[in-house]
Amino acid sequence: MTLPEDGSLLRIFIGESDRYGHHPLYEAIVLKARERGLAGATVLRGVMGFGKHSILHTAKILRLSEDLPMIIEIVDSSEKVEDFLPVLNEMVKDGLVTLEPIRVLHYKA
């Protein structure tokens, strides 16, 4: 698969405990992106963060959180990312979604 030099980075901020059906939301998003043929997706688990409700979530031992921040990053052409947005909108009920233009420098197997 090749990527054009100009692409898009889709970034989704959700909570670890967010669900889509019977699956973790982050897992459902990555699987749906793969099913739709997007170039790549990565899930990052945050060690600390807060969102819209200002509730602090942390991985510190003394404050075990069951809802750590999760970030899903998806990269592909702007057209393919735009086509994925309606699917994502149906899946993400609570969270933050950002989109930014990127320049792909290297994408090889």
CATH code where residue 93 lies: 3.30.70.120
pLDDT in tens, 5-36: 889 999 999 999 999 999 999 999 999 999 99
Q: Which residues contact 106 (CB under 8 A, 6 or more apart)?
A: none
Tally of domains within the chain: 1
Is 104 part of a structural domain of the chain?
no
pLDDT in tens, 60-72: 655 555 678 999 9
Is 61 part of a structural domain of the chain?
yes
Confidence category of residue 57, pLDDT binned at 50, 70, 90: confident
User: Range of 60's domain?
Assistant: 6-98
Q: What is each CA distance from 32 to 48, 62, 70, in whole angstroms? A: 27, 36, 17
pTM of the model: 0.88
